[in-house]
């Protein structure tokens, strides 16, 4: 099990015992480096979004599709770290290079791999950008290629990005925007580059995260300050979202995970 500690600016590997309980950490890494500026390089015009550039803040950790490498983002240091992973001993060792940098202050928060394993999309919380990386799965290396705003053309003001997901069929990218309170929808071209399609209001305040059900037909938005989870239907041809009219009242929802019992 891999975990990122936001306030500790660290990541940890925990062995899972046969009964499902967690053993003592097999590895622990603390992020160190220069803290980025409070003003994002790519902030929207008129943005006052300031978040996380006071300390190192590990925000997300995940293994690549092969399980041979582990990546984690540090929002405060504006970096994505890359690790070689020994899955027998549960140990991380720095890859070469050990990290890639995002523009100062942009604040990488979440990322998601394309189903082909060759492209990675990184979402920056304060810069409100999506960065396309080419991923070399043989060597665990990232090469930055293209940057696009997570917001509709012409947006001005403050926004904090939240989560990012690639559709199961690999045709669309969805990005959460807090304060703008929308999910940005982008089509994926043959070369992996994104084109803005539309944005859908989340029907609530401050969408902290969103997720698709196991069928991929229904996304659920966790509207944290609206105290509800709103349900949408996906047009799987166009990638657009349509509100179903259904809400579930939940206090301060942060994350939604589905348990697929089909197997």
Q: What is the C-alpha to C-alpha distance for residues 227 and 252, in angstroms, rounded to an integer?
A: 5
pLDDT recorded at residue 263: 58
pLDDT recorded at residue 261: 74
Which parts of the chain have pLDDT scores under 50? none
- Other CB atoms within 10 A of residue 116 CB: 13
| Cβ contact 254:210 at 8 Å | no
| Cβ contact 210:230 at 8 Å | no
Q: Which CATH class is domain 33-201?
A: mainly beta
Q: What is the C-alpha to C-alpha distance for residues 255 and 102, in angstroms, rounded to an integer?
A: 25
Instruction: List pLDDT tens digits, range 46-99.
Output: 999 888 899 999 999 999 999 999 999 999 999 999 999 999 999 999 999 999
Q: What is the C-alpha to C-alpha distance for residues 121 and 112, in angstroms, rounded to an integer?
A: 5
Start-to-end Cα distance in the chain: 22
């Amino acid at each position: 099990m891999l975990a990122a500690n936001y306030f500790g600016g660290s990541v940890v590997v925990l062995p899972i015992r046969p009964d499902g309980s967690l053993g003592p950490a097999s590895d622990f890494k603390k992020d160190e480096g220069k803290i980025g500026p409070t003003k994002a390089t790519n902030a929207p015009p008129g943005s006052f979004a300031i978040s996380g550039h006071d300390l190192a803040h590990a925000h997300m950790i995940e293994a690549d599709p092969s399980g041979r490498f582990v990546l984690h983002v540090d929002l405060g240091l504006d970096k994505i770290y890359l690790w070689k992973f020994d899955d027998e001993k549960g140990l991380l060792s720095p890859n070469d290079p050990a990290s890639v940098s995002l523009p100062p202050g942009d604040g990488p928060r979440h990322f998601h791999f394309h189903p082909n394993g060759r492209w990675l999309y990184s979402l920056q919380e304060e810069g409100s950008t999506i960065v396309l990386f080419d991923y070399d799965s043989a060597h665990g290396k990232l090469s930055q290629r293209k940057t696009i705003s997570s917001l509709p053309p012409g947006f001005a003001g403050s926004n904090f990005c939240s989560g990012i997901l690639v559709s199961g069929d690999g045709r669309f990218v969805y990005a959460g925007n807090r304060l703008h309170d929308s999910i940005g929808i982008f089509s994926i071209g043959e070369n992996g580059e994104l084109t803005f399609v539309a944005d859908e209001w989340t029907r609530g305040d401050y969408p902290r995260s969103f997720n698709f059900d196991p069928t991929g037909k229904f996304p659920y938005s966790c509207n944290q300050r609206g105290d509800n989870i709103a349900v949408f239907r996906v047009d799987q041809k166009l990638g657009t979202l349509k509100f179903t009219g259904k809400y579930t009242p939940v206090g301060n929802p942060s994350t939604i995970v589905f348990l697929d019992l089909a197997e």
